[in-house]
């Protein structure tokens, strides 16, 4: 079970190493990101579609413990 987290690094107790940490975040593209980009391209808005991959607005945020590198949770957009 993952810990509830937000879009920004969160202060949590790691379920793996039991230390109080501020999570390390990594944005990840999802199938939803690719589908939105495809729809934007089909409607002739390719520059907007590319922006989805350069910003975090359409990507999930995965959180990891900086001490033990354990997965903490995902914030889904």
Range with the poorest average pLDDT among 1-5, 41-45, 63-67: 1-5
73 pLDDT more than 60: yes
* Degrees, nearest 5: CA angle 27-50-23: 10
**Whole-angstrom Cα distance, residue 4 to residue 9?**
12
Each residue's pLDDT tens digit, 25-34: 999 988 888 8
Confidence grade of residue 53 (pLDDT, cut at 50, 70, 90): confident
2 pLDDT more than 70: no
Predicted pLDDT of residue 26: 93
**Whole-angstrom Cα distance, residue 49 to residue 77?**
16
């Amino acid at each position: 079970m993952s810990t509830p987290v937000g879009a920004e690094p969160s202060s949590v107790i790691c379920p793996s190493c039991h230390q109080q940490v501020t999570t390390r975040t990594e944005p990840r593209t999802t199938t939803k990101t690719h589908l939105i980009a495809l729809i934007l391209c089909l409607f002739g808005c390719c520059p907007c579609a590319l922006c989805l991959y350069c910003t975090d607005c359409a990507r999930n945020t995965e959180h990891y413990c900086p001490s033990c590198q354990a997965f903490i949770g995902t914030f889904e957009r």
